[in-house]
Amino acid sequence: MSWNSKITKVEPNHLVTRGYRQEDLIGKVPFSHVVYLLLKGVLPSPAQGTMIDAILTACIDHGVTPPSAIAARTVASGGVPLPTAVAAGVLAIGDAHGGAIEQGARFLQEGVKRMKEEQRSKKDMASLLVRESREKKQRLLGFGHRVHTADPRTKRLFSIAEELDIAGDHCALSKAIEGELERTMEKKLPINVDGAIAAISSDMGFDWRLGKAFFILGRVAGLSAHVFEEQTMFKPMRKLALVDCEYDGPAEQDLPKGYAGTHGKKGE
Amino acid sequence: MSWNSKITKVEPNHLVTRGYRQEDLIGKVPFSHVVYLLLKGVLPSPAQGTMIDAILTACIDHGVTPPSAIAARTVASGGVPLPTAVAAGVLAIGDAHGGAIEQGARFLQEGVKRMKEEQRSKKDMASLLVRESREKKQRLLGFGHRVHTADPRTKRLFSIAEELDIAGDHCALSKAIEGELERTMEKKLPINVDGAIAAISSDMGFDWRLGKAFFILGRVAGLSAHVFEEQTMFKPMRKLALVDCEYDGPAEQDLPKGYAGTHGKKGE
Amino acid sequence: MSWNSKITKVEPNHLVTRGYRQEDLIGKVPFSHVVYLLLKGVLPSPAQGTMIDAILTACIDHGVTPPSAIAARTVASGGVPLPTAVAAGVLAIGDAHGGAIEQGARFLQEGVKRMKEEQRSKKDMASLLVRESREKKQRLLGFGHRVHTADPRTKRLFSIAEELDIAGDHCALSKAIEGELERTMEKKLPINVDGAIAAISSDMGFDWRLGKAFFILGRVAGLSAHVFEEQTMFKPMRKLALVDCEYDGPAEQDLPKGYAGTHGKKGE
Amino acid sequence: MSWNSKITKVEPNHLVTRGYRQEDLIGKVPFSHVVYLLLKGVLPSPAQGTMIDAILTACIDHGVTPPSAIAARTVASGGVPLPTAVAAGVLAIGDAHGGAIEQGARFLQEGVKRMKEEQRSKKDMASLLVRESREKKQRLLGFGHRVHTADPRTKRLFSIAEELDIAGDHCALSKAIEGELERTMEKKLPINVDGAIAAISSDMGFDWRLGKAFFILGRVAGLSAHVFEEQTMFKPMRKLALVDCEYDGPAEQDLPKGYAGTHGKKGE
């Protein structure tokens, strides 16, 4: 019973990752390019390397507002090692937090494929996808944000993608959907940073199932800083979050008579 | 390269845990007694079974005030499966949250051992331990609580331990320390629920390194209820915790000139 | 911004869970019944209490064969606190491991609902469901096991459910599906322990979304025993698992010329 | 009740991290330099930026041999989302796995401080530290490796540190200890990659409590690749690890007579 892996060959004094000796990568290939190598299997071109670097930086941190930062700091507050608290933050990265990269990329990749098969224009395809989502009552992932109406990260990522000639059909379809949403909705729903990464990583040929990996890889930097700040600047078990919660369960009552019977007697 | 385990023998259609067939345990031995069997290696006496059951129930839940509940609900709010969110709650169980059982039990077990070796009375030993802790500026674990001055769980656990003749030297030393603290401190520091479990589990002969296991085993019930409530009653990414946080890092500034050089250019 | 919870009211020296004072529950209501109270919102009848207790015990452990035990022991081997390692085991409880309770219960609950609406017999409904699954190439969850052909836990759980008059339509439909599978398949696919819990918990009126919670609550007992055994009987970083893995990634090569340029120079 | 954080200011359409607007960082400052900014609070010099980049790359992956990779793949095999499995890998990063960076850095930082206070030479200090560790039977962390006798990553990291004039007292003391170990031991115990990062990060002025953060930040790249490979190339619940484990617990036996009494009866 043996199995294979295409990631790293481990031999005494010899480590080869995706074909390259680790001592050749260290200090020669920028870390963000090495991330690309690990996820894609080949080294990036200079443009692809710059793009993946920008994507990682766009994910670093959003203060203490998202679940991942609150979870990491709360867990740190229980008095645990740094990796345990950072991992708790990673656990919070789910379908509702960072998840729009994964599902947004899937949606765009299927949309572009269908657009080509059905020989539709971007505008036509966008209009159809928005209509279908509305009929199925499905939320379009990657549009709108709790805090930002014009997310500075989104704008910057798209501008780099354009400059480097990486932006292609997926970015274009994404922008066409944004336009269609603006035309047909009362509320503005601009592409958010998750949506931008979904579109750009799709134009870079990444599998949509890696969507949350980009987010994790960037966000772990911010989470490490949060946990370190929590561990060094605050006392454990401090009242970290103002949870103002009211009990509205059943009214207080005595146990029914059946209980308090056999249990709890000496020598039972 | 083979290794051994004393926990469960797995054969086709045959599962033996700590010597007992699982089909014999199921529905015949109460689950809390099975927990004892797993942790201690033997079945409990009726009194020991009632005591471990009471200990597990004493750990079930403390509302949304502790880090474990906040972490579990926050992670659930990211849109992840139930076990991921429950596990995040377990991660928060650390030296500052539930950890007093482990360290408190260690302290009491070492204290009782020393008391016997040095042939001291409980009162004398308690007085010495309090003085030493004060000199080393070490907090005595298992005394005092953020919310309760007379924790109803503590009282009930000690009363069951007395009734069942389980309370022994460790409970007595713990109460002697409580008395000594009251005599010498301005602030009252009564034994808390962690301290009670530390004392009672020590009198039951449990290894102090299992201290956090009792807490986990009981608390997982409350955490599962919290995660289920969060997933079924609330929307993902709701503003769960009022985090009122102010940025006091470096003032906003431009990048130094050195940057913005090579990076970000097409065809680089 | 306040929110509600129906689980526990926390006041100084006063803890009320699902309407009952915790000091009334401790040592009076068996822990497994308290689990039922937490998950269902009301205390169980004696029969329901016995049934939930049996379900929890049926989940306690399966040796070091499942992902959860391997993960918990492997993480413990990295030199971390007990809760961190136990939580890693809980993380492995997913759609493929313990997940058949959740999806199996959903399937049975939808099946029973449809059976009543369409006024079909159990046999007829079972035959239809098996046919549909085959057409959609969907695996029926809760049938068949990697190790057991006649799982001793399954037999025991169903026999308790019968004895206590808890077994109802969901158990009956589950058995009808098992019969249908036996008639139409070459390979035997008996109801496994996940499938039995899916059927019985559905007959007890539990929401299918709690499926993984039963499994976690029981399995945490076994995982705690595994982590404790690993931490006390073995050295950290021992070769725990025989991973016999061969590298079949790209052949070893030099870096392309473009790299090794700017990076790594002093005073750059 | 408000608290402060020096990490990120979050305002609508405006994100400032450690004083810099995120849109200025994205695509302009290499991601590894942004990691330095997050952990240290200031941007690195070019040399420091290259060094942190090299450190992160030196941590990326070690195949499926370490606990973190086995745990991540095992948890993935349970059928869970990618972040859940990656987080399980992070949990395995503990005192015995990656932990030598933290404790090694602490040891070196205390050693250098003492060397200066006691006005000792490096050789003298190294000899004293080795002697003391031997007397206290404490293992020196950061020396020796399970697989490598001349770790290619270590050599490369030290050579970059020299080239960039970053290597200082901590690197020198570390090498003096390596020399002392070679003189006084029969077995060779060369500085391993953890030890090299401990020494270099200390010379860069990093707090030793960040030791595991470097390791996490690099290793998350490898863990993401492992989880993705597991999820896309293998079936869930495959026999991932050859765990050849023998049960040596109590012999199989019947339940004692006391049990099987009240439990399990209808209408009880």
Mean pLDDT of the B131-155 span: 92
Label the pairing between strands B14-17 and B8-11: antiparallel
Mean pLDDT of the C86-96 span: 97
Q: Minimal Cα distance from D66: which residue of A?
A: A10
pLDDT at A261: 42
Give Rg (Cα) of chain D.
24
Which residue from C31, C90, C82, A79 is spatially nearest to B207, judged by alpha carbons? C82
Mutate to test the interface with C, among B4, B20, B35 (most CBs of C within 10 A): B35
Least Cα separation, residue A121 to chain C (angstroms): 33
Does A200 score more than 60 pLDDT? yes
Q: Where residue C159 falls among pLDDT bands split at 50, 70, 90? A: very high
Least Cα separation, residue D142 to chain B (angstroms): 26
Chain B interface includes C3 (CB < 8 A): yes
Q: Chains contacting C with at least 3 CB pairs below 8 Å? A: A, B, D
- Which residues are CB-neighbours of A32 under 8 A, at least 6 positions away? A49, A52, A53, A56, D30, D31, D32
Give residue-wise pLDDT tens across range C242-265.
677 889 899 999 998 877 544 444
Q: What is the DSSP string of A128-171?
A: HHHHHHHHTTPPPTTB--SS-SS-HHHHHHHHHHHHTT---HHH
pLDDT at C267: 36
Mean pLDDT of the C112-119 span: 97
pLDDT at B267: 36
Mean pLDDT of the A211-218 span: 98
Least Cα separation, residue A129 to chain C (angstroms): 26
pLDDT at A1: 54
- Which residues are CB-neighbours of A37 under 8 A, at least 6 positions away? A17, A18, A20, A25, A29, A43, A44
CA dist., res. C168 & res. C163, Å (int): 12
Does B240 score more than 80 pLDDT? no
Q: Chains contacting B with at least 3 CB pairs below 8 Å? A: A, C, D
Cβ-defined contact of B28 to D259 (cutoff 8 Å): yes
Give residue-wise pLDDT tens across range A84-96.
999 999 999 999 9
Cβ-defined contact of A264 to B146 (cutoff 8 Å): no
Share above pLDDT 90 across residues of chain A, in percent, rounded to a whole number:
83
Does A265 score more than 60 pLDDT? no
pLDDT at C260: 53
List the beta strands (DSSP E) in chain B: 3-5, 8-11, 14-17, 20-21, 245-247
Predicted structure pTM score: 0.95
Contacts of A248 in chain C (CB under 8 A): 4-6
Does B175 score more than 80 pLDDT? yes
pLDDT at C238: 86
Contacts of B92 in chain A (CB under 8 A): 74-75, 77-78, 80, 88
Mean pLDDT of the B175-182 span: 95
Please give the structure tokens belonging to residue C191.
């109801």
Contact between C250 and A41 (Cβ < 8 Å): yes
CA dist., res. C106 & res. C249, Å (int): 41
Does A264 score more than 60 pLDDT? no
Instruction: Indicate the residue of A1, A19, A248 with minimum beta-carbon distance to C6.
Output: A248
Q: Chains contacting A with at least 3 CB pairs below 8 Å? A: B, C, D
pLDDT at B1: 54
Helix (H) / strand (E) containing A4: strand A3-5
pLDDT at A268: 37
Chain B interface includes A78 (CB < 8 A): yes
Q: Where residue B261 falls among pLDDT bands split at 50, 70, 90? A: very low
pLDDT at B258: 72
Contacts of B244 in chain D (CB under 8 A): 1-3
Contacts of D240 in chain A (CB under 8 A): 3
pLDDT at B14: 95
Give residue-wise pLDDT tens across range B52-101.
999 999 999 999 989 999 999 999 999 999 999 999 999 999 999 999 99
Share above pLDDT 90 across residues of chain C, in percent, rounded to a whole number:
83
**Tell me, what's the ipTM?**
0.95
Share above pLDDT 70 across residues of chain C, in percent, rounded to a whole number:
95
How long is chain B?
A: 268
Contacts of D28 in chain B (CB under 8 A): 255, 259-260, 263-264
Contact between A96 and B81 (Cβ < 8 Å): no
Contact between A4 and D3 (Cβ < 8 Å): no
Does B262 score more than 70 pLDDT? no
Does A267 score more than 60 pLDDT? no
Instruction: Indicate the residue of D50, D64, D266 with minimum beta-carbon distance to C165.
Output: D266
pLDDT at B185: 84
pLDDT at C264: 41
Mean pLDDT of the A161-182 span: 97
Give residue-wise pLDDT tens across range A122-149.
999 999 999 999 999 988 999 988 889 8
Contact between D241 and A3 (Cβ < 8 Å): no
Is residue D152 helix, strand or coil? helix
Does B260 score more than 60 pLDDT? no
pLDDT at C245: 82
Contacts of A56 in chain D (CB under 8 A): 31
Contact between C70 and C172 (Cβ < 8 Å): no
Contacts of B93 in chain C (CB under 8 A): 83
Cβ-defined contact of A249 to C6 (cutoff 8 Å): yes
Report which of residues B149 and C177 the model is more confident about: C177
Q: Which of residues 35-74 of C touch B (CB under 8 A)?
A: 35, 38-39, 50-51, 53-54, 56-58, 60-65
Mean pLDDT of the C143-148 span: 88
Does C52 score more than 60 pLDDT? yes
Instruction: Indicate the residue of D13, D91, D156 with minimum beta-carbon distance to A26.
Output: D156
Instruction: Indicate the residue of A9, A25, A263 with minimum beta-carbon distance to C28.
Output: A263
Residue A10 CA neighbour count, 13 Å, CB half? 17
- Which residues are CB-neighbours of C164 under 8 A, at least 6 positions away? C47, C50, C51, D264, D266
Is residue A257 helix, strand or coil? coil
Least Cα separation, residue C123 to chain A (angstroms): 34
Contacts of C147 in chain B (CB under 8 A): 10, 12
pLDDT at C1: 54
Chain A interface includes D86 (CB < 8 A): yes
Contacts of B254 in chain D (CB under 8 A): 24
Intervals of chain D under pLDDT 70 = 1, 242, 260-268
Give residue-wise pLDDT tens across range B3-24.
899 999 999 999 999 999 999 9
pLDDT at A260: 53
Chain B interface includes C190 (CB < 8 A): no
Give Rg (Cα) of chain A.
24
Contact between C90 and B216 (Cβ < 8 Å): no
pLDDT at C239: 79
- Which residues are CB-neighbours of A95 under 8 A, at least 6 positions away? A102, A103, B78, B79, B80, B236
- Which residues are CB-neighbours of D218 under 8 A, at least 6 positions away? A31, D55, D56, D57, D58, D59, D60
pLDDT at D94: 96
Instruction: Indicate the residue of A7, A8, A20 with minimum beta-carbon distance to C255.
Output: A20
Under 8 Å CB pairs connecting chains C and D tally to: 176
Contacts of D244 in chain C (CB under 8 A): 242
Q: Where residue B266 falls among pLDDT bands split at 50, 70, 90? A: very low
Which residue from B219, A86, D93 is spatially nearest to C85, judged by alpha carbons? D93
pLDDT at D157: 98
pLDDT at A234: 92
